[in-house]
Amino acid sequence: MMIVSSLDELKEARRLLDGMVGLVPTMGYLHEGHLSLIRRAREECDHVAVSIFVNPTQFGANEDLSKYPRDLERDLRLIDPLGVDLVWNPTPEIMYPAGYQTWVEVEALTRSLEGAMRPSHFKGVTTIVAKLFNAMQPHKAYFGQKDAQQAAVIRQMVRDLNFPIEMIVCPTVREPDGLAMSSRNKYLEGDDRRAATVLFRALSAAKFAYENGERNAETLRTVMKSVLATEPKASPQYVSCADYDTLEELDVVKGKSLLSMAVLIGKTRLIDNFVLK
Ligand code: PAF
């Protein structure tokens, strides 16, 4: 497994990878969700590359970048048995050298949901992902369904900027009690960990209603809100039933749709979603 940091090292290492390259972009502190993306890339590609970079530009001023969990040694130990060929772990100075001033921004899709709560977040995400794509030149790139809006926004960027890359979105990996795996789960202490299952329970209740014929989107949002209201530690930031592609709120669920939510459990902000097909 080659582990590189500088752009020159990356260029040299990338040259050695012949055939189809799959990239799994990450911010490190890997969990089973990331490992499932790496395994899928391993199955589908000749070579697998993983980037590990805590991207400062996708954190808002009130979000604590310095507290984001980091443990490169642990990440490398987890990756090692999975047959990864190349790990790229650049520094912020490599990705954003002094005088940096170029940004990639997707418009309408970034205005709702996460984008409404975290105004500069997606500008940071699309900029770094475009830079990772340009430097790594993968044929396929793997993302988790858990960050549904991120996947939609990057899909739009890939289409709009003609990146010759196939985007693969893989299912959310969950703990046995339904909590979606996330690096942020590390912040859930004591009773917050139990309370955090309310997101899965709220989504499951709305899916159950949908499967029993409910198509009114407002009713599905109400179902989710009423389950969230049973948990005193939960403060919902948004609860949505939207079109899967445009992310516009629906009146009636017809085609592929997305139930999603962001909820504060104590001080920890969690997101989760289910796709209705
Ligand atoms: O999903 C993430 O971990 C990040 O947003 C990503 C795609 C690696 C960009 O920094």
Domains of the chain, each with CATH number or no CATH: 2-170 (3.40.50.620), 183-276 (3.30.1300.10)
Let me know: does 221 contact 241? Beta carbons within 8 Å.
Answer: yes
C-alpha to C-alpha distance for 255 and 46, rounded to whole angstroms: 35
CA atoms within 13 A on the CB side of 29: 13
Query: If 0-12 CB within 10 Å is exposed, 13-18 middle and 19+ buried, where does residue 238 land?
Result: middle
C-alpha to C-alpha distance for 131 and 157, rounded to whole angstroms: 12
Asked if 34 is an active-site residue, the reply is: yes
Let me know: does 219 contact 185? Beta carbons within 8 Å.
Answer: no
**Helix 32-44 with 72-79: angle, nearest 10 deg:** 40
C-alpha to C-alpha distance for 206 and 222, rounded to whole angstroms: 9
240 CA from centroid of ligand 1 (Å):
22
Q: What is the pLDDT of residue 124?
A: 98
Q: Which residue has a Cα nearest atom 2 of ligand 1?
A: 26
Q: Which residue has a Cα nearest atom 8 of ligand 1?
A: 26
Place of tokens 């997305």: 258
- Report which ligand 1 atom has the smallest distance to the Cα of 51: 8
Q: What is the pLDDT of residue 18?
A: 97
Q: What is the pLDDT of residue 64?
A: 85
Q: What is the mean pLDDT of each run of 10 residues along the chain (277 residues)?
A: 98 98 98 98 98 98 92 98 98 98 98 97 98 98 98 98 98 98 94 98 98 98 98 98 97 97 96 97
Let me know: does 205 contact 177? Beta carbons within 8 Å.
Answer: no
In b/e form, how buried is each residue of 55-82, taking b as 16+ CB within 10 angstroms? bebbbeeeeeeeebeeeeeebbebbeeb
114 CA from centroid of ligand 1 (Å):
14
Give the Cβ contact number of residue 269 at 10 Å: 17
| Reported pTM | 0.96
Q: Which residue has a Cα nearest atom 6 of ligand 1?
A: 26
Q: What is the pLDDT of residue 162?
A: 98
- Report which ligand 1 atom has the smallest distance to the Cα of 25: 8
198 CA from centroid of ligand 1 (Å):
25
